[in-house]
Amino acid sequence: MKQQAYPLFKREDFDGFFALFQNNLANFVLIALTMISMGFPNDIVFGRVIPGAAVAVLFGNFYYAHMAKKLAIKENRSDVTALSYGISTPVMFIYLFGVLSPALALTGDPDLAWKIGMAACFLGGAIEILGSVIGRFVRKHVPRAAMLGALAGVAFAFIGGELLFNTYEMPIIGMVVLAIILIGLIAKKPMPFKIPASLFAIIIGTSLAYIFGDAQLSQIKDGLDTVSFYAPIPSLGFLWGIRSLFTEMITLLAILLPISIYNFVETMNNVEAMAASGDDYDVQEAQIADGLGTIIGTIFGGVFPTTVYIASIGSKWMGAGRGYSVLNGIVFLLASTFGIIAAMSKIIPVPVIAPILVFVGISMVSQAFSSVNKNHFPAVTLAMFPYFANYIMTRFNGSAGEVVSKLSSGIVPLGQGAMFTGLIWGTILVFIIDNQFHKATIAALVATVLSATGFMHAPNLALLYDYQFAVGYLVIAALFYSFHLQASKSIKTSKNIGA
């Protein structure tokens, strides 16, 4: 059979590029605004952190384009979509408020706090690489419904849900942009002059924002004032950071280990989601690439781990290939180097960007259900629920902790380690549905260990932080095993009668 040509660029890559670029841009805007509000100076934020992250994005995007070409050649296909890649949003928040903020508060030195962040990021990348050793095993033994369900929970709460809130912050602009996205990317109708739907939505939305006065012309001037030259410069600052991380900041290790494990689980889940869409990548290779990208970004000043994005599914739905990944890496590096990212964050209103990410949330939740056996739909749904608790906990427990606790005392512990909780309960329900109670028993015992050590239902790693959760999982393990024994006895009895 003749080898099909796999183009470096095609028209659909532009839609994929704008969706991925806006996803990365949204994270980088949050990083910049949050770090500056904490007290980090512009020269560290825009001169070190943003360029370092851009180098990581460049490496990862180029490598995933390479992986896409390998898969296309291997399977003789021309419709392979490269994995999307960037900073993990949940992990980003943990590093912002669980690493950088306490490091700055304890040291009072932004430069040292940045170096501690680099050290934490370097260790996170190393753990991602080590996680690749068990990635294939986990992917083989954890049901697809559980993995996609847990991922859909993230998409529903943090991406589709929250970004839909942002869409309605400017109702006219947000609704118009959302309508264009739904027409162009869901219904796949062509836009005027064949402009990619994402770009058309951004142009129309941004124009309307200034016409209706939801954005001010002064924002353009403010944005242009941030344009400057920020070259990526290698730094060994993480070595000084590691020294602090293992001395006065050693308590941060209790945060780094579980969130780093979460990160390689997130990569595994997103690779699984792409496999369900038709592009079956090697999860171990992807986890190693993520870890290397994180470490390379650290060497250039980055302080946030990277991962395969949930947006991969959205890019697949758009029909993108590998060109969008290459273009994103190049443009993002240039944009960070010349301060364009900072400028764009001031010029383009968030409600213009938000509907594009709402589409990503829609596609991911839809993919979770369309890619599993219909009998496993309840498992997908159950696996999504912990992230609803995680969203409430993350967004409101700090400023409105009393309100959250009055609503339910179970919200915070359910939200802690939500990825693991979703995976566990989704897995348990799949095994119950399939009458595999011995496997459900094993899953409950794994949950017992995770709860007893603080990976679930605890704010950090701690032995029996709240023993009730571990005991609860142990009790249901016994319950499942009793059903297994009963089923085995029934089978044995049936065989004896038959004999």
DSSP 2-36: PPPP--S--THHHHHHHHHHHHHHHHHHHHHHHHH
**Looking at the 3D structure of the chain, how many domains does it have?**
2
- Mean pLDDT, residues 340-362 taken together: 84
Q: How far apart are CA 446 and CA 107, in angstroms?
A: 38
Structural domain includes residue 5: no
The arithmetic mean of pLDDT across residues 230-258, rounded, is 82
Whether residue 302 is found in the same domain as residue 418: no
pLDDT at 137 over 90: no
Q: Please check whether residue 1 lies inside any domain of the structure.
A: no
Tell me: do 262 and 361 sit in the same domain: yes
> Is there a single domain that holds both residue 349 and residue 400?
no
Task: Say whether both 134 and 151 belong to one domain.
Answer: yes
Query: At how many degrees (to 10) do helices 283-299 and 50-75 cross?
Result: 160
pLDDT score of 77 more than 60: yes
**Amino acid 379: pLDDT:** 97
Residue 494 belongs to a domain:
no
Spatial CB neighbours of 479, under 8 Å, sequence gap ≥ 6: none
Domain that holds residue 427: 376-488
Residues 384 and 342 in one domain: no
**Does 415 lie in the same domain as 364?**
no
Quickly state the pLDDT bin for 433 (edges 50, 70, 90).
very high
pLDDT score, position 272: 83
Pair 460, 348 in one domain: no
| 365 and 418 housed in the same domain | no
Assign 317 a pLDDT band (cuts: 50, 70, 90): confident
Residue at 3 is within a domain = no
Q: Are residues 336 and 429 in the same domain?
A: no
Report the pLDDT averaged over residues 326-349.
88
Are residue 176 and residue 198 in the same domain, yes or no?
A: yes
Among candidate residues 372, 400, 418, the one where a domain is terminated: 372
Q: Is the pLDDT of residue 499 over 70?
A: no
| 401: amino acid identity, one letter | G
Q: Are 426 and 380 in contact (CB under 8 A)?
A: yes
Residue 297 has pLDDT above 80, yes or no: yes
- The β-bridge partners of 215 are none
Q: Could you tell me if 91 and 163 lie in one domain?
A: yes
* Domain assignment of residue 130, yes or no: yes
Task: Determine the Cα–Cα distance for residues 466 and 461; give it in Å rounded to an integer.
Answer: 11
Q: Is residue 4 part of a domain?
A: no
Mean pLDDT in residue range 236-258: 80
pTM: 0.76
Span 83-99, pLDDT tens digits: 999 887 767 877 887 78
Q: Pick the last residue of a domain from 372, 387, 412.
A: 372
Same domain, 320 and 403: no
State which of 372, 400, 419 marks the end of a domain. Answer: 372
**Nearest residue to 273 (alpha-carbon basis) of 383, 180, 134:** 383
Let me know if residue 37 belongs to a domain. yes
CB 99 within 8 Å of CB 117: yes
Q: Is 249 helix (H, G, I), strand (E, B) or coil?
A: coil
* pLDDT at residue 134 greater than cutoff 80: no
Please give the pLDDT value at position 94: 77
Q: CB–CB of 426/440 below 8 Å?
A: no
Q: Is 187 part of any domain?
A: yes
H helices, E strands: number in the chain: 24, 2
| Least confident piece of the model among 12-26, 105-119, 302-316 | 12-26
